[in-house]
Structure 1
């Protein structure tokens, strides 16, 4: 597979993953805290919860494949920043799958207590995104970009800044129920999620431009 095709496929997968993620968030409103309302909520949104859980499991995988593609294109697989990015990708995927597991547990619970426990674990796991999962993925990726020419350096600095902000927010809300800081966390998470399609589109443009430049040089060489 050519580098151009590899770059384009990885970038398109990332864009699709981000779309999946936003769709999964829009399928269901936040579950109610009242037990009676929670039962009705589970019955009404059962299928939507399952579809949303599937999308939320698939979308990070597509994004992480894009991240790994950037590490490979940057030839950083043996450098510290590249290895740290790979470890961060594993942490991010693990945290996401744990959250999805509890969503599935709540949707398929046979009694109210199990559903409430599953949702409680969901809220607990969501702390991990800001504490470790988000920063562990995007901060070392920023250094990979800065140490290579795979993407513009501004995207590397932006990645490090977003990851650092995520980590700071994670510390600030460490002793706070995640629902109390959901608005702030949602804004930071949205910024991080938008970084990936911007990076993906940039990679596609670069791949196409480099391909045209190579083709132009070949034509000049033939004509000479």
Structure 2
């Protein structure tokens, strides 16, 4: 596979992954905090929760594939920043799959107690996203981007800032239940989710423009 095709497929996969993620969020409404309403909620949204959980499991994998593609294109797989990004990607996937597992546990629970325990674990795992998962992935990835010509350096600096804010807010809101809703974390998470398609689209445009330049150069050479 050519480097150009590899880059295009990785970028398209990342964009699809983010689309899947937003769809999963729209399918999974926030469950009620009142236990008496939870059983009816589970029955009403059972299928939506299962489909949303599936999408939430697949979407990060596509995003991580894009991250791995950046490392490959930047030839950073053996550098410390690249290795740190690989570690961060592993942590990111584990945290995401833990959350999905507890969503599935709540949706398929045979009693209210099991559903409540599963949802409690979901809220606990969501803290891990801001404390470790997001910073561990995007900060070293930003360092890789800054040190390579694969993507504009501004995206690397933006990634480091986003990851650093996640780490800071993860500590600041450590004692605030995620179920209560934290606006600052929600906004920052949305910014990070938009960072990935922006990076993917940037890589896609670069590769398409490079392809046009090569095709134009070949036409000029052929006409000489």
TM range (shorter): over 0.9
- In structure 2, C-alpha distance between the alignment counterparts of 1:39 and 1:68, rounded to whole Å: 41
Shift of 1:217: 2.9
In structure 1, the partner of 2:206 is 206
Question: Which aligned pairs between 1:1-224 and structure 2 lie closer than 5 A?
Answer: 1-224=1-224
Q: Report the secondary structure of 1:115's partner residue.
A: helix
Shift of 1:179: 2.5
Shift of 1:221: 3.5
- In structure 2, C-alpha distance between the alignment counterparts of 1:108 and 1:37, rounded to whole Å: 16
Taking structure 2 as the reference length, the TM-score comes to 0.97
Shift of 1:212: 1.8
Q: RMSD of aligned C-alpha atoms? A: 1.1
Shift of 1:218: 2.9
Does the 8 Å CA contact 1:173/1:181 hold for their aligned counterparts? no
Does the 8 Å CA contact 1:11/1:66 hold for their aligned counterparts? yes
Shift of 1:28: 2.8
Q: Number of residue pairs matched?
A: 224
- In structure 2, C-alpha distance between the alignment counterparts of 1:200 and 1:141, rounded to whole Å: 13
Shift of 1:34: 1.0
Shift of 1:138: 0.5
Taking structure 1 as the reference length, the TM-score comes to 0.97
Q: Report the secondary structure of 2:168's partner residue.
A: helix
Unpaired runs of at least 5, structure 1? none
- In structure 2, C-alpha distance between the alignment counterparts of 1:67 and 1:120, rounded to whole Å: 31
Measured against aligned partners, the alpha-carbon deviations of 1:71-106 in whole angstroms (never above 9, x if no partner) come to 101111111111111111010000000000000000
Shift of 1:183: 2.0
Unpaired runs of at least 5, structure 2? none
